[in-house]
Amino acid sequence: MAIDFKESKTRENLMRAFAGESQARNRYTIAAEVAREQGLFAVNQVFLFTADQERAHAKRFYDLLKNLSGTTIHIDGGYPVDHFDSVSELLKAAEHNEMEEYEDVYQNFGDVAKEEGFIEVASAFYQIARVEQTHAKRFGKLACMLENNQYFESKEDEYWMCLNCGHIHKGKLVPEVCPVCRHERGYFIPASMAPYFECEFIK
What pLDDT does 150 receive?
Answer: 87
- List, for residues 64-100, the tens digit of each pLDDT value: 999 999 999 999 888 999 999 999 999 999 999 999 9
What pLDDT does 72 receive?
Answer: 95
Do 64 and 123 form a contact (C-beta atoms < 8 A)?
no
Q: How many other C-beta atoms can be found within 10 angstroms of the C-beta atom of residue 33?
A: 12
The mean pLDDT of the chain is: 93
Strands (E), the chain: 153-162, 168-173, 188-190
DSSP string, 177-195: B-TTT--BGGGEEEGGGGG
Q: How many other C-beta atoms can be found within 10 angstroms of the C-beta atom of residue 75?
A: 13
Across the strands, what pairs with 57?
none
Regarding pTM above 0.95, the answer is no
Do 169 and 183 form a contact (C-beta atoms < 8 A)?
no
With 80 as the cut, is the pLDDT of residue 199 above it?
no
Whole-angstrom distance, CA of residue 152 vs CA of residue 165: 18
Across the strands, what pairs with 170?
159
What pLDDT does 110 receive?
Answer: 98
Structural domains of the chain ordered from first start: 5-147 (1.20.1260.10), 153-197 (2.20.28.10)
- List, for residues 135-193, the tens digit of each pLDDT value: 999 999 999 999 998 889 988 898 999 989 999 999 999 999 999 999 999 999 888 77
